[in-house]
Amino acid sequence: MMRAVLLTLCLITTAVFSVTHAQNQGVIAITGATIHTMTKSGTLRGATMVIRNGKISELGASVAIPADARIIRADGQVISPGLFQPFSSLGLSAIDQVEEINDEKSTHALWSGPAFHVASVIDFSDEEIILNRANGLVNIMVAPALGASVFSGQASIIDARDTLDGLVQPRAAIIAHFDAQASHLVGGSRAAVMLAFEQAFNEALDYRSNRADYLRGQRYDYHLSRQHLEALQPVLDHTIPLGIVAHRAPDILASLDLADRYQLDIVIIGASEAWKVADRLASTHTPVVIDPCNNLPTSFETRNVREDQATLLHQAGVIFSFTACGAKELMGWGSNGNAALGLRQSAGIAVAHGLPWISALRAITTEPARIWKYQGSIINLRSNAPATFVIWNGDPLELSTYAHAVMINGRWQNLDSRQRHLRDRYRNQEQAQLPFAYRGL
């Protein structure tokens, strides 16, 4: 009986929003919703959002509905900015063990390094991106994995729109590793990793001051190629940050010292022991990207991880965002899978261990944009901003909640996915209609 009721509600919702998918222009008024604006306006209850030609024109509890508006009644629904996955390989490796469709790293010493970038090979039709869009994921940081250099390369920011042109920020950051994987890569000691960092930035600074001499062949040979040295210039210019994957407190402190020495903007990724150095992170305004599901020691470098780390960082004033629960890029386990669900799970776990609810929602929506200096459309909800949001059937941090509708830059998104088609194919069908292998089960 309960299944039938849930199915009925799902079908009603689909009917309501399917009309709007074909009509993305004109005036739309969404009424009766709880809207988490993620601005100084806070949370608006029983509010109306008016969208005119793809932009939010009015937003509030006492907004007059334009006479020419198409009305979507969202009583009891929740509207929030779209989810933002701040570190992933979505679009690079649909099947990890199949080399021909795995583009997340280079193991060739010549090409691996700061200049390696993945923007041109992101597969926007990847089923994982489609599935995650259907579950409320709007923005994604796509990062290369560790290859043959301690610098894994340049990360890109995309949005999950249902077209093939979702590249927003081709070169959003350079990712480096100061963890056990990087230590193994350079011979077994993090001291060698730090030497590699210092050598790279010393050469990049020298190249910057002596570029003309280098091009004339009047400068000593660098260990890094010209491409790699050029790739590091935006980091030295503070145009893009350097993301450093590090877990131990000493490694985080060493990364902060590196940033101070070369005047770099850095983001610590993973940061299992960030709580131990929270004051230093806060005083240097250094953001961290953490996984609240990483709350038990899974290796020696994460042996001091704590389940209430997000709360401790929040209390210390550290800027942070969450990656999806069990992100394989951080710990070597888990998968991209349903990153949207994983993000909400991460936020929910953090709330269960003391983090304020609104801070958790912020950590999976607007904070990643702040951390990575996002240059795309405004992603919080306010007047004159591009209309990008998700309509949920309840609390976004509850795993039973699902996305009714997703709008990106004023355009309703197609929420079909292979999983939904498979669900519909095998639900309530006579056995005679099933493929042969499924008959008689």
List, for residues 161-212, the tens digit of each pLDDT value.
Answer: 888 888 999 999 999 999 999 999 999 999 999 999 999 999 999 999 999 9
The domain boundary residue, chosen from 338, 371, 404: 371
Task: Report, as an integer, the average pLDDT of 40-44.
Answer: 96
pLDDT tens digits for range 84-135: 999 998 988 766 666 677 888 888 988 999 999 999 999 998 888 999 999 9
**Same domain flag for 256 and 347:** yes
Mean pLDDT of the chain: 89
Give the pLDDT band of residue 338 (cuts 50, 70, 90).
Answer: confident
Pair 74, 122 in one domain: no
CA end-to-end distance (rounded Å), the chain = 23
Q: Do 209 and 318 belong together in one domain?
A: yes
Residue 72 located in a structural domain: yes
pLDDT-derived band at 329, boundaries 50, 70, 90: low
- Whether residue 156 lies inside any domain: the answer is yes
**What are φ and ψ of residue 187, in 5° steps?**
115, 0
Closest-CA residue to 178 (of 272, 276, 298):
272
Residue 431 lies in a domain: no
pLDDT at 307: 92
Residues 30 and 69 in one domain: yes
Within-domain flag for 430:
no
Q: Is 1 within the bounds of a domain? A: no
Same-domain status, 105 and 58: no
319 and 405 assigned to the same domain: no
The residue from 371, 396, 431 where one domain ends is 371
Residues 41 and 162 both lie in one domain: no
> d(Cα 28, Cα 68) in Å, to the nearest integer?
9
Q: Given a cut of 70, is residue 438 above it in pLDDT?
A: no
User: Nearest CA to 342 among 73, 83, 43?
Assistant: 83
CATH number at residue 170: 3.20.20.140
Please state whether 217 falls in left (phi above 0), alpha (psi between -120 and 50) or beta. Answer: left
Write down the pLDDT at residue 3: 39
What pLDDT is attached to residue 95?
67
Same domain, yes or no: 154 and 283: yes
Nearest Cα residue to 83 out of 360, 439, 415: 360
Is a pLDDT exceeding 70 seen at residue 34? yes
pLDDT tops 80 at residue 238: yes
Tokens matching residue 286: 């250094």
Q: Which domain holds residue 290?
A: 83-371
Same domain, 13 and 152: no
Model confidence at 432, pLDDT cuts 50, 70, 90, reads low
Query: pLDDT band for position 357 (50/70/90)?
Result: very high
Of the candidates 238, 254, 115, the residue with the CA atom closest to the CA atom of residue 178: 254
Residue 162 within any structural domain of the chain: yes
The fraction of the chain above a pLDDT of 70, given in percent, is 87
pLDDT score for 16: 44
Tell me the CATH number at 16.
Answer: 2.30.40.10
Are 174 and 307 found together in one domain?
Answer: yes
Domains in the chain, number: 2
Q: What is the pLDDT of residue 436?
A: 66
d(CA 64, CA 297): 54
Determine the Cα–Cα distance for residues 86 and 322; give it in Å rounded to an integer: 7
Specify if 223 maps to a domain.
Answer: yes
In the structure, what pLDDT confidence band is assigned to residue 296 with cuts at 50, 70 and 90?
A: confident
- Answer yes or no: are the C-beta atoms of 293 and 328 closer than 8 Å: no
pLDDT confidence bin for 260, thresholds 50/70/90 = very high
Lowest mean pLDDT among 197-206, 329-338, 339-348: 329-338
Q: Which of 51, 46, 55, 56 is nearest to 68 (CA)?
A: 51
Same domain, yes or no: 58 and 167: no
Instruction: Flag whether pLDDT at 247 surpasses 80.
Output: yes
User: Residue 35: what pLDDT?
Assistant: 98
Contact indicator for 74, 32 with CB cutoff of 8 Å: yes
Considering only CA atoms, give the Rg of the chain: 23
DSSP 8-class letter at 93? B
Q: What pLDDT was estimated at residue 19?
A: 40
* DSSP-based three-state secondary structure for 204: helix
Q: Is residue 268 within 8 Å of residue 277, measured between CB atoms?
A: no
Asked if 327 and 394 sit in the same domain, the reply is: no
**Does residue 204 fall inside a structural domain?**
yes
* List of E strands, 143-285: 151-159, 167-177, 242-246, 266-270
